[in-house]
Chain A
Amino acid sequence: MSIRRMGVLLSKEFLYGSRNYILVFSIVGPIIISIIVSLIFGTWLAEKPRLGILDEGKSQLVTMFDDLNSIDNLEYNTISDMKGAVEIGAVDIGIVIPSGFDNSVIQGERTEIKAFIWGESMAKSRTIIGVTIANTVRELTGQKSPIEIETITLGDKASIPWNDRLLPFIVLMTVFLGGLMLPSTSIATEKERRTIRALMVTPTSIEDIFLAKGILGFILSFFMGILILVLNKAFGTEPILLIIVLALGAVMAAELGMLLGVYVKDFATIFTIWKSAGIILFAPAIIYLFPQIPEWIGKIFPTYYVTQPIVELSQKGGGWADIATNTFILIAIDVALIFILLFTLRKKQYTVTGE
């Protein structure tokens, strides 16, 4: 193994690898997926009722609705726009506030609000919107609430919103997309183009080639992991520990990528493996999404030992004591993988190089 030759190979990877589609995908993909997943799950599972408003006058209700947290509001300029929005489910209910509505209700005159209801809206959404409108109008007319309400949260478990539950999944995907896919596809491409054989006639060893590609995967994986945590404002109170865990996770991803490179001959197989066996990598993050699933199931999967410390540090405010055991297991996995890699490289040298 030669550090200098590895450096030369690594600089070649940086120079020519930037044209690689997977490299670009590993950078752009996680950022887009991070945004999309947050939007999708955040919106889909929140089930916050949506109210469309068409104000024919200048009702104060509109600004009062804006201040509420129990519903989302959207304003429309024409009745056809609002009906269109209701028909496709952009809002659960669309209301038309007639001109002079505020004065009428304040003076106690009967007046009417026209409501268009989306057929597929949930009954509870209709109820929440209905009582919210009623309550807001009562506030407008100066009616005093007959009761005081005290909200009490039971239990001592911390609340975990869906966006936070998804964070481990996004981080894992980011770390493994770059760390695993980049070295493995790069090795497979060299095999397909037989450039790996050309390299083997130089003093370069097979370990040099693999480690150079692994280091590239590690660097990409590590920095993308940090970027995703920054984008999600999830650095917690122990950023140094978090960076160390991310680095260990990136090492695991790069090692698995190099191992995949040993066995896989072409790009198509790697892609198929990613498409399907990815569930093994992401299982701990998926389990984290559903707190009903016992945590011990996650421990079966090696990526649990990356996920748990990240969750502990970024979301639960944990420290070294909370992650020490799992971090040591992660280090052990990383060390074991490097030995397995070196062993298989020697054993499978013929398969890899064709020499």
Chain B
Amino acid sequence: MNIHIISILISKDLSLFFRKRAIIILTFIALIFYLVLYFVMPNSVDENLKIGLYSPVSLPVFTQIDEEGLEISPVESEESLKEAVLDGSYVVGISIPADVAEKLSSNQKPTVNLYFTPDAPQEIKDAMEVVVRELAYMQTGQPLAFDVSEEILGQDMTGTLIPPRDRLRPLLAIFIIMMEILGLSNLISEEIERRTAQALLVTPTTVTDIFIAKSISGIGLAFVQAVLIMTIIGGMNRQPLIILVSLLLGAALATGVSFLISARARDFMSVLAWSFPILIILIIPSFTVMFPGAITGWVKVIPSYYLVDTVHRSANFGSGWGDVWVNLLILFGFTAAIFWAGIYILRRKFQ
């Protein structure tokens, strides 16, 4: 192993990568795009149903109910209520008629108006009807004939739910890292097809030097971009060291996959053909974070699951080494196996 040769090879790879100004500018634009995507997503979770209530008479259950998820605000007039609903202040406006008490006491059914915006989904309208009807049952003192015993599974996150944009963090991290598979695979497959790798081997450069140089270039390119994005989107605010380690392992995993692909691919077209199915598979685990429950336990056979899960738990919940060490160990195992397999196959191709 010759450090001088390795550094020359790395600078050659990087200069090849950076030679095309258009690619640099556009890669930069891509990073901006990811950031825009992140920042346009909602930065908070609206956990409560904001309800406006116009009631000319006092209905204690409606105004004093202490139910999680319900936020009922009194409004002075029916007109104000309609305006507030239209400007989006409330998901529904409840208008109680002035004769509600008389009608209820005389066993008549008063009509309660519910105001919605035009874009309110039908399920919300139905849900609000159910909520108001239940409040009316409670107001008229009709008890329920059953009890509910509750058990919270997992950490109760009420009031501290993760906003949709933060659920994107693992997806962005993995997307940036895995997209580098394309660039690196193309770089290596070109060297194989143009036989520049074989040309290098007639110099004092060894196969080991080439692999170390390629590994450093590949890991470096993927890692730096991922760290940059994660820093900007606040993914490094909690447990930065764990995030750095997991991104580094992820970058090494992507590099190992690139070695495997470039051993098979002949040109950029075949790099794409091989890369896309692999990319799709590797990106699947990030959907477990974005859409909890959408994917079941089988997702754990995909190596990138351990990267996604670690980034999600550390960046969004602040999980420490004690919580994620198993993940990191498995990710390391997968990375080592894929990296070794990639080097083994590519070495045979070089020779």
Q: In A1-52, which residues have CB < 8 Å from any B CB? A: 20-22, 25, 40, 43-44, 46, 48-50
**Given A145-B109, A272-B23, A89 and B268 touching (CB < 8 A)?**
no
Q: Is B334 an interface residue (CB 8 A)?
A: no
Interface pair A119/B33, CB less than 8 Å apart: no
In the bound complex, what is the Cα–Cα distance between A50 and B268 (angstroms)?
45
Contact of B130 among A115, A126, A132 (CB under 8 A): A132
Interface pair A88/B292, CB less than 8 Å apart: yes
Q: Which of B64-72, B200-208, B320-328, B336-344 contacts A (4 or more CB under 8 A)?
A: B64-72
| Chain A proximity of B181: nearest CB distance (Å) | 13
Q: Is B154 an interface residue (CB 8 A)?
A: yes
**Given A69-B122, A112-B148, A137-B146, A279 and B269 touching (CB < 8 A)?**
no
Q: How many A residues have CB within 8 A of the partner chain?
A: 86
Q: Is A230 an interface residue (CB 8 A)?
A: no
Chain A residue numbers with a CB within 8 Å of B123 are 46, 48, 69-71
| Chain A proximity of B163: nearest CB distance (Å) | 12
Chain A residue numbers with a CB within 8 Å of B156 are 117, 119
In the bound complex, what is the Cα–Cα distance between A91 and B292 (angstroms)?
9
Q: Is the interface of B mostly helix, strand, loop or mixed?
A: mixed
Interface pair A276/B130, CB less than 8 Å apart: no
**Given A46-B121, A154-B115, A110 and B145 touching (CB < 8 A)?**
yes
**Given A88-B293, A116-B153, A123 and B48 touching (CB < 8 A)?**
yes
Interface pair A127/B116, CB less than 8 Å apart: no
Q: Is A326 an interface residue (CB 8 A)?
A: no
| Chain B proximity of A128: nearest CB distance (Å) | 5
Q: Which of A209-217, A263-271, A335-343, A344-352 contacts B (4 or more CB under 8 A)?
A: A263-271
**Given A70-B130, A110-B146, A124 and B48 touching (CB < 8 A)?**
yes
| Chain B proximity of A299: nearest CB distance (Å) | 19
Q: Is A143 an interface residue (CB 8 A)?
A: yes
| Chain A proximity of B104: nearest CB distance (Å) | 6
**Given A117-B153, A189-B269, A91 and B293 touching (CB < 8 A)?**
yes
In the bound complex, what is the Cα–Cα distance between A268 and B70 (angstroms)?
53
A151, closest chain B residue (CB): B114
B144, closest chain A residue (CB): A134
Q: In B135-165, which residues have CB < 8 Å from any A CB? A: 136-137, 139-140, 142, 144-159, 161-162, 164
In the bound complex, what is the Cα–Cα distance between A211 and B45 (angstroms)?
51
Contact of A131 among B131, B267, B276 (CB under 8 A): B131
In the bound complex, what is the Cα–Cα distance between A267 and B273 (angstroms)?
13
Q: Is B77 an interface residue (CB 8 A)?
A: no
A50, closest chain B residue (CB): B293
Q: In A65-119, which residues have CB < 8 Å from any B CB? A: 68-71, 83, 85-91, 101, 104-105, 108-119
Q: In A135-185, which residues have CB < 8 Å from any B CB? A: 135, 137-138, 141, 143, 145-161
Contact of A268 among B146, B268, B288 (CB under 8 A): B268
Interface pair B182/A271, CB less than 8 Å apart: yes
Interface pair A138/B118, CB less than 8 Å apart: no
Q: Is the interface of A mostly helix, strand, loop or mixed?
A: mixed
Chain A residue numbers with a CB within 8 Å of B110 are 147-148
Q: Is A273 an interface residue (CB 8 A)?
A: yes
In the bound complex, what is the Cα–Cα distance between A251 and B116 (angstroms)?
43
| Chain B proximity of A47: nearest CB distance (Å) | 9
In the bound complex, what is the Cα–Cα distance between A90 and B67 (angstroms)?
24
Q: Would you list 14 pairs from A and B whose C-beta atoms are within 8 A, ordered by A residue? A: A49-B127, A70-B124, A117-B151, A122-B47, A133-B148, A145-B109, A150-B111, A151-B125, A152-B115, A154-B85, A155-B86, A157-B118, A159-B120, A279-B33
Excluding A138-B137, A146-B136, A150-B111, 19 further A-B contacts by CB distance (< 8 Å) are A22-B269, A44-B164, A48-B123, A50-B293, A71-B127, A90-B292, A117-B153, A119-B155, A120-B157, A127-B70, A134-B144, A135-B137, A137-B144, A147-B111, A147-B112, A153-B115, A160-B119, A276-B27, A290-B40
Which residues of chain B have a CB within 8 Å of any CB of chain A?
A: 20, 22-23, 26-27, 29-30, 33, 36, 40, 45-49, 67-70, 82, 85-86, 104, 109-127, 129-134, 136-137, 139-140, 142, 144-159, 161-162, 164, 179, 182-183, 186, 267-270, 272-273, 276, 288, 290-294, 296
Lowest 10 CB-CB distances: which A-B pairs, in order?
A: A89-B292, A90-B293, A119-B154, A127-B69, A123-B69, A70-B127, A276-B30, A276-B29, A70-B126, A89-B293
